[in-house]
Amino acid sequence: MSDDELSSSGARPIPSPATLALSTPRVPDMQEETTTPRPSPPQTSYPITFVIVGGGIAGLACALALRRVGHRVTVLERLERDAARGEHGVRAPPNLSKILFHWGLRDALMSKASIMDKLVFTKCECKVPNRRAFPCVTTPLLCHLPDDSSETLAEQLWDAEMLKETQGLFLMLSHPDLHDIFCDAAIQLGADVRFSSEVVEVDPPSRAVTLSSGERLSGDVLIGADGALGQCRTAVLGRRDPGSPTGLAVYDTLISLAYVSTFDPRVALKSWQCLALGGGRAAVAYPIRGFEDISFQLYAPDDAGASGCYEDAAPVDLALVTKDSGISDHLRQTVLGARKTKVIPIRQHVDLEDWVSDDGRLLLIGEAAHPFPPTTIQGTAMAVEDGAVLAKLFSHLSSAAQIESFLYAFQEIRQSRVRNVRAAELGAIAMLTADGPAAAARDASLRANAARGPGANVLEGGGSAEGVWEEYSVLFGYDCEDEADEWWVQWGRLRQRAQDRSMAADGEEPA
């Protein structure tokens, strides 16, 4: 789809870059409203077999969604289950959490997640001349900086009515817990999930894959959910796409609360997300696992030329990396508690015109279709939305003749939303890591909006508060399954009727 087609497709507006750095507060009266799952989804009258390459969140969410509507699913993941689960934090915005609520997984999700209460912006600058500091997430989350200068720029609260409209909650939890929720639910519904099953060859024309063991599996549709560097994206693009460096990398780690609360015990009482802003750097931190750990993500220049992804990147010692970076003594003690720090480069990848292979039924989803910057809020959400939309479309499958049209319908529905959201996420990172005059303007805007008093929208920018809340509502209130149903009502039924008439005219039995 071209840029001109995107601009004329009626795609819904996406919030300004700053809005994607947000999180939501606790809204107790919303919890009951978001607990009711939707009725059981319609079941396909023509079950087919899907082979999904990749057992991360995208692959497992897709497997669960397809099993819910009656299709046969096999998931192939090259890593063992513990390795595939990862070891970092994840934020689940309302457009993600409400999908799990609709699927009847609210209790499983809420038993592992915390509702975010507040978003706090701090400014941290090192006082020592000629020393460029990593920013420090300060009061109330990590520590005080007696030798550094820190300032609370603003605190963000949310509009309760807007949150009700989204039908979801903004949650924070560990990636392993989210992975387990999808995996366990998919297996319970009958998905064949195979770990330690490495795919070494993808054959779209034959709709088959070959494993390292020599086993060959085939299906009616292949789903590529093996990431930006996986075999499926390479098969569709015709070459490997390592992406172009942006000059930034993310240091992603977990820090034990025991190390954090030594410096500020209030962290054990606060369900907050903090964003610390420093010259050309930024840090995001939030508690997970019932405040047992702090998920800590540091955006900094990619001076070492990081490579790889979460599954392949070798752990680094964050305390050693930050030793001469100018951080305060208190934070230096805190990062001693960091473990399994992964350094992931932020790269720009080629926008694929098609997510469907030209020579067979291979469809890309998640990072394989649309790589997002690591640790962003919406990356995981977009992957889960993909699975939900695909299953909703294929719940209407009544004949093999519909398969290709449904694959391209999925692409049509998803591309404009994903591309716009991804661009905004990249803009959010640019905002957080701004330096010089751009950073000064950002900080001045935050201070000015915060000065208007409690309840002010601190990221209002140059627009109205009402306009910003509307942007949030569009982003977080988006219902991907409704979007798929809308396509079926407007286009799918018409195409099916036309096909049935054509078959009848040829003397064939309609689907």
Do 63 and 235 form a contact (C-beta atoms < 8 A)? no
**% residues pLDDT > 70 (the chain):** 75
What is the C-alpha to C-alpha distance for residues 259 and 347, in angstroms, rounded to an integer? Answer: 32
Q: Which of 134, 126, 38, 24 is nearest to 388 (CA)?
A: 38
Domain-embedded: residue 511: no
| Alpha helix ranges (H) inside 210-354 | 231-237, 257-261, 318-321, 329-334
Of the candidate ranges 159-173, 194-208, 267-281, 459-473, the one whose mean pLDDT is the lowest: 459-473
Does residue 384 lie in a domain region? yes
Q: Is residue 506 a part of any domain in this protein? A: no
Looking at residue 3, what is its pLDDT? 37
Mean pLDDT, the chain, whole residue set = 81
Of 64-68, 69-73, 457-461, the least confident: 457-461
pLDDT band at 397 (very low <50, low <70, confident <90, very high): very high
Q: Which residues contact residue 246 at a Cβ distance below 8 angstroms, ignoring those fewer than 6 apart?
A: 302, 345, 346, 347, 348, 426
pLDDT of residue 27: 40
**Tens digits of residue pLDDT in 261-301:** 554 555 555 678 888 888 888 888 888 988 888 898 989 88
Residue 443's alpha-carbon distances to 103, 110, 114, 281, 457, in angstroms, are 41, 35, 29, 14, 14
Q: How many domains does the chain have?
A: 1
Cα 76 vs. chain centroid, distance in angstroms? 21
Better-predicted residue by pLDDT, 4 or 511: 511
Question: Is the pLDDT higher at 423 or at 137?
Answer: 423
Confidence class for position 28, pLDDT limits 50, 70, 90? very low
Termini Cα distance of the chain: 30
Provide the pLDDT for residue 116: 85
**Residue 396, in any domain of the structure:** yes
According to the model, what pLDDT value does residue 6 have? 31
Q: Does residue 483 register a pLDDT over 60?
A: yes
Q: CA-to-CA distance for 449 and 459, rounded, in angstroms? A: 7
Which CATH number goes with the domain that contains 182?
3.50.50.60
In a domain, 510, yes or no: no
Closest CA to 248 of 375, 422, 149: 375
Instruction: Tell me the whole-structure pTM to 2 decimals.
Output: 0.85
Task: Give the model's pLDDT for residue 7.
Answer: 34
Q: What is the pLDDT of residue 449?
A: 85
Helix intervals (H) in 112-170: 160-166
pLDDT of residue 97: 95
In a domain, 499, yes or no: no
**Residue 503 within any structural domain of the chain:** no
Cβ–Cβ under 8 Å, residues 486 and 409:
no
Question: Which has more pLDDT, 480 or 424?
Answer: 480
DSSP annotation string for 395-457: TT--SGGGHHHHHHHHHHHHHHHHHHHHHHHHHHHHHHT--HHHHHHHHHHHHHHHTT-TT--
Check pLDDT > 50 for residue 57: yes
What residues make up the domain containing 19? 3-494
> For residue 502, is it within any domain?
no
User: Measured between alpha carbons, how far is 104 from 36 in angstroms, rounded to an integer?
Assistant: 7
Binned at pLDDT 50, 70 and 90, residue 124 comes out as confident
The angle that helices 94-102 and 377-394 make with each other, rounded to 10 degrees, is 40
Top pLDDT among 159 and 98 is at 98
Distances (CA, A) of 45 to 18, 71, 381, 398: 45, 10, 29, 5
